[in-house]
Structure 1
């Protein structure tokens, strides 16, 4: 390993000036300083490498200054895409980096052990044999874009004539397969195969890939001047009016609202929460993991006006290590729901003290959430 210095200044103006300096003082000995380095995280949609977040090169180090928009940020470094991102020495994904802003001047020391190089990333699919690709380029007419759609079918689907409930999920790259993920996978297929055998719970799961640099816009119903246009309504219209009818036509599904669920994490948690409120006649079960309620105060105002629902179940999950702000926002949202006539028995809020903003955390909690929602 060679030692170099990367300096990243993250500054903010919230009544007073504050700054955190991240010093990456160890890099792989084969690091190529001709390559650009990017910071990517929940504050920019996990794009993998937006031009606005490219570090400036100065001799043998890189630096960038970005504004603080929230208490805690989760991030990683890349060389421009998730195919070329930081990893451990064995080229395995690492947990997200986390920084909570505290003092006006903070400094943290960081190390990059290795970079994935496209070929070092796992290229053998870990998806179960009952996970299928519905389409590599499924058209989203509402956004004039295309996305990969993957479908999990229960183990007994091919040997029965039964119809099944359906769960719709976002960030499809991370749902079933380590080979397509950029931060680990949820192992939804392995978990549901186990639940099928042990508890007789059988679901169809439909996972839509996110849109990389479009992700944060597509998963937000509200405009944010820092992040751009809100496309969440169009994205949900696609799921409700285009994707669901197609799934119901091709597969043996239980089409009713009581048999239709939606689930996601981070910005995917935000859009899932919104979907439960906007489309209560479509989704009756909603999994809201580590939701990005910080993105817009409109999420609280909208909930106040639309929380009076009787048959929708909401499961909220947040980790104590995601930042105090995240926990407070989930608790605040739960209180707003109850104060506006959402049935208390239809809300489950789980706060895990050691939980982090990561696929590994969401994977570990998926089983509990799905059993509560489909109980």
Structure 2
């Protein structure tokens, strides 16, 4: 048996659950809350695992979420611990502190294009703190208040986007990428819902919202964080109306966004305006990598669920005929909510930002 021994900070509550997350299934495949440690009387945590001789790996210690994982004592990412099994032995580590500052909030973000301020949240991936010379791709996401925090998410149920991304990146299934959550406002439908030229364009803020992202948010992020700014490293993503505006933004700004994720997109909007005009300017599909999906339980009735699937299938057919680099998934049992989108966010990241791309 191989033993892991963890000395925790003095201010850690005695019965606070502590977890190991690391390489391989016995260490949870980098899930922050899967492998719980036991307590010694002095508060030290320990875990015994039957690991084959010669097993080598890495691990970190968490309190059940990556946001509360061990840090280096200065709020930054800790270097993963390494171990090698050489018969009965142990690995002993000491946690300097809990919680690295991976999420940065920029409140009251103002704009000259759209009237209302909002919060812009920036999540920094594993490796950002450890290599100050490295630059990272960026994924801009709409409805940003629903991504990370139960306190701000709709019905208290976020995507847990930071937890999913950290796990997938540490597993080696996706390239480390910065995630920027752009919060919505009471103008959400006006900002996310483009309209035809002859229909209420005076209430349509979608193009102004696009300029807000491209001319204000992105330059701010590129200035303040170590990004790879080119379109091949820049994605935009969202769900429902956020998925719809993501598709439009890639069509309007092909020199800015080269990756797109449209989860459960509201392509019904304005009599299927996006589907009907996709062939008018199809060139963006040649340079953009697109994730498209729809759950099989998205709708208030059987007819509504069937209609949602039918529309998305037709959009996938259009993308296929245009020769787009895309993936389409129908998610069995998938509903129209944040929990469902968060459950497949790992596959979205792996597709948009594959580790070998």
Give TM-score scaled by structure 1 length: 0.62
Q: CA deviation at 1:368?
A: 0.5
Q: Deviations over 1:331-368 (max 9, x none)?
A: 111112233x233xx11110012111011110011001
- Verify: 1:279 aligned to 2:260, yes or no: no
Residue 338 (str. 1) matches residue 314 (str. 2) = no
Q: Does 2:278 align with 1:320?
A: no
- Which structure is larger by alpha-carbon Rg, 1 or 2? 2
Find the aligned partners of 2:66 and 2:149 in 1 and give their Cα distance.
5
- Find out whether 1:181 has 2:153 as its counterpart: yes
1:348 aligns with 2:327: yes
Task: Describe how 1:24-39 pairs up with structure 2 within 5 A.
Answer: none
More moved, 249-258 vs 176-185: 176-185
CA distance in 2, matches of 1:270, 1:131: 28
CA contact (8 A) 1:166 1:203 kept: yes
Distance 1:262 1:354, change over 3 A: same
2:259 and 2:269 map into 1 onto residues whose CA distance is 23
**Equivalent of residue 276 in structure 2, options 301, 305, 313:** 301
Cα separation, 2, equivalents of 1:270 and 1:205: 19
RMSD of aligned alpha carbons = 2.0
Contact kept, 8 Å, 1:196 with 1:202, in 2: the verdict is yes
**Contact 2:195 2:201 (C-alpha < 8 Å) held by counterparts:** no
- Distance verdict in 2 for CA 1:303–1:264, change over 3 Å: same
**Structure 1 residue 214 and structure 2 residue 187: aligned?**
yes
Q: Is the 8 A contact 1:168 1:262 kept in 2?
A: yes
**Secondary structure of the structure 2 residue equivalent to 1:177:** coil
Do the aligned partners of 2:66 and 2:166 also contact (CA within 8 Å) in 1? no
* Number of residue-to-residue matches in the alignment: 246
In structure 2, C-alpha distance between the alignment counterparts of 1:145 and 1:333, rounded to whole Å: 32
Once residues 175 and 284 of structure 1 are traced to their aligned partners in structure 2, the CA distance between those partners, rounded to angstroms, is 22
Equivalents in 1 of 2:143, 2:182: separation in Å? Answer: 6
- Superposed displacement of residue 226, structure 1: 9.3
Unaligned runs of 5+ in 1: 1-125
Q: Cα distance 1:204–1:329, how it changes in 2: closer, same or farther (>3 A)?
A: same
Question: Which aligned segments of 4 or more residues in structure 1 are displaced greater than 6 angstroms?
Answer: 224-228
Rounded to whole Å, the distance in 1 between the matches of 2:66 and 2:274 is 34
SS in 1 for 2:140: strand
2:243, 2:66 → 1: CA distance? 23
Q: How far off its partner does 1:317 sit? A: 1.1
Asked if the contact 1:216/1:227 (under 8 Å) is kept, the reply is: no
Task: For 2:137 and 2:265, locate their aligned partners in 1 and report how far apart those are by CA, in whole Å.
Answer: 24
Secondary structure of 2:145 counterpart: helix
Secondary structure of 1:159's aligned partner: coil
> Judging changes above 3 Å, is the alpha-carbon distance between structure 1 residues 228 and 216 closer, same or farther for their aligned structure 2 residues?
farther
CA distance in structure 1 between the partners assigned to 2:290 and 2:181 by the alignment:
19
- Preserved contact between residue 217 and residue 227 of structure 1 (Cα < 8 Å): no
